[in-house]
C-alpha cells in the first residue's frame, strides 16, 4: 500500500467510526460518501485508489465530484438491518458496525486492514458477514479449536440464514479424521472400544473433534490418519473422510480452520 492509499485508508478508518477527520470521506445515512474537490484531471485515479465501486452514484457540482454507495455493514448491523429483522430485541453494537464498515472499505480498496477489538464486540460476524455479502471467498483461521467449532456450529450457520446458498466447510488436518484403512480391515470394522465403534458406524464426517465422549489418546491414535497415509494409493481413498472434507473445502465460500 503506497503513501496515498495509506492516507485514504486513514481517512476511512476515522469515517467508519463516525469520527471523520476530513469531509472528503464520511459515512452518512448508511452510505459511504467520497468528495473530491478540484484536481479534476485525477478524479478517475483517485476514485480507483479510494476503491469506489463501479456502480457507485457519482454527481458533479462545480469542481467537486461526489461518489456515494451503500455501506453493507449498515444494511446488516444497523438498527433496521438484516440481523435486526431476524433477532428480537436486537441492539446495535457500534464497535461491531464500525469494524464491519472498515472491512468493506479494505476489500473495496484491495488494501490490508489490521483490526483489534475486545471481547464481546462480535468480530466474527463483523468480518464474515461482509465477506459473504460481497461474494468473497474467506479463510478464517482461529487460535484454537474451541473457537473454530463455535464459528462452524453457531456463528456461521446463522449467517448462512442471512445469505442463503453460501457454503461453509471445516478445514482441519489429517490427524483429526478417522482412517478408513485403520478402522476397516478386510471389510470388518476394527475399533479399540465399543463406544468408538458405535461412533464410527454413525459418523458422516469422520472428524474426531465431534466425538461426544472422552477418548484415551492411545485409542484415538489407533483410528486416526497418521504419517503412514498413502493418499491416492490407498484402496479406500474414495471413501476417505479427510480427502472428502478437503474437496468440499476447496469450493466452499468460507473455510474455517484452526
- The closest alpha carbon to 175, from 224, 232, 241, 237, belongs to 224
pLDDT value for 117: 84
105, 135, 165 - which closes a domain: 135
- Please write the tens of the pLDDT for every residue from 136-166: 999 998 888 888 888 988 999 999 999 999 9
Is residue 119 predicted with pLDDT exceeding 90? no
**Are 163 and 133 contacting, i.e. CB atoms less than 8 angstroms apart?**
yes
Q: What mean pLDDT is predicted for residues 58-87?
A: 96
135, 167, 195 - which closes a domain: 135
Beta-carbon-side half-sphere exposure of residue 94 (alpha carbons within 13 Å): 5
pLDDT averaged over every residue in the chain: 93
Based on the fold, state whether residues 100 and 204 are members of the same structural domain.
no
Is residue 76 predicted with pLDDT exceeding 70? yes
pLDDT value for 1: 65
Query: In this predicted structure, which of 68-72, 94-98, 143-147, 189-193 has the lowest mean pLDDT?
Result: 143-147
Share above pLDDT 70 across residues of the chain, in percent, rounded to a whole number: 100
- The closest alpha carbon to 18, from 10, 27, 9, belongs to 27
Based on the fold, state whether residues 115 and 214 are members of the same structural domain.
no
Based on the fold, state whether residues 28 and 118 are members of the same structural domain.
yes
Is residue 232 predicted with pLDDT exceeding 90? yes
Based on the fold, state whether residues 26 and 65 are members of the same structural domain.
yes
Could you tell me which residues are beta bridge partners of residue 59? Answer: 66
Query: In this predicted structure, which of 26-30, 144-148, 195-199, 225-229 has the lowest mean pLDDT?
Result: 144-148
Per DSSP, the residues of 186-243 read: TTEE--SSHHHHHHHHH-SS-BGGG--S---HHHHHHHB--TT--GGGSTTGGG-HHH
CA distance 186 to 180: 11
93, 115, 135 - which closes a domain: 135
Q: At residue 16, what are phi and psi to the nearest 5 degrees?
A: -65, -20
Size of the chain in residues: 258
Confidence of residue 236 (pLDDT cuts 50, 70, 90): very high
H helical segments located in the chain: 3-15, 43-49, 72-77, 82-86, 94-109, 123-133, 145-150, 156-162, 180-183, 194-202, 217-223, 241-251
- The closest alpha carbon to 206, from 244, 169, 232, belongs to 244
- Please write the tens of the pLDDT for every residue from 83-118: 999 999 999 999 999 999 999 999 999 998 888 888
Is residue 10 predicted with pLDDT exceeding 80? yes
- The closest alpha carbon to 132, from 14, 258, 255, belongs to 255
Amino acid at each position: 500500500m503506497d503513501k496515498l492509499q495509506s492516507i485514504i485508508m486513514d481517512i476511512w478508518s476515522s469515517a467508519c467510526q463516525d469520527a471523520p477527520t476530513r469531509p472528503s470521506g464520511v459515512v452518512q445515512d448508511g452510505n459511504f460518501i467520497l468528495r473530491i474537490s478540484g484536481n479534476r484531471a485525477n478524479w478517475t485515479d483517485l476514485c480507483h485508489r479510494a476503491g469506489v465501486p463501479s456502480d457507485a452514484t457519482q454527481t458533479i457540482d462545480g469542481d467537486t465530484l461526489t461518489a456515494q454507495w451503500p455501506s453493507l455493514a449498515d444494511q446488516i448491523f444497523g438498527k433496521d438491518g438484516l440481523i435486526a429483522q431476524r433477532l428480537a430485541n436486537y441492539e446495535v453494537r457500534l464497535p461491531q458496525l464500525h469494524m464491519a464498515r472498515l472491512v468493506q472499505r479494505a476489500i473495496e480498496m484491495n488494501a490490508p486492514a489490521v483490526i483489534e477489538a475486545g471481547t464481546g464486540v462480535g468480530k466474527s460476524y463483523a468480518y464474515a458477514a461482509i465477506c459473504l455479502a460481497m461474494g468473497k471467498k474467506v479463510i478464517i483461521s482461529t487460535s484454537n479449536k474451541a473457537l473454530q467449532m463455535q464459528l462452524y456450529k453457531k456463528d456461521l450457520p446463522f449467517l448462512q440464514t442471512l445469505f442463503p446458498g453460501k457454503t461453509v466447510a471445516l478445514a482441519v488436518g489429517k490427524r483429526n479424521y478417522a482412517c478408513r484403512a485403520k478402522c476397516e480391515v478386510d471389510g470388518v470394522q476394527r475399533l479399540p472400544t465399543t463406544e468408538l465403534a458405535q461412533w464410527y458406524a454413525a459418523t458422516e464426517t469422520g472428524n474426531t473433534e465431534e466425538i461426544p465422549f472422552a477418548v484415551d489418546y492411545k485409542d484415538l491414535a489407533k483410528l486416526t490418519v497418521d504419517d503412514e497415509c498413502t493418499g491416492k494409493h490407498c484402496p479406500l481413498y474414495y471413501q476417505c473422510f479427510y480427502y472428502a472434507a478437503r474437496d468440499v473445502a476447496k469450493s466452499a465460500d468460507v473455510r474455517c480452520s484452526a
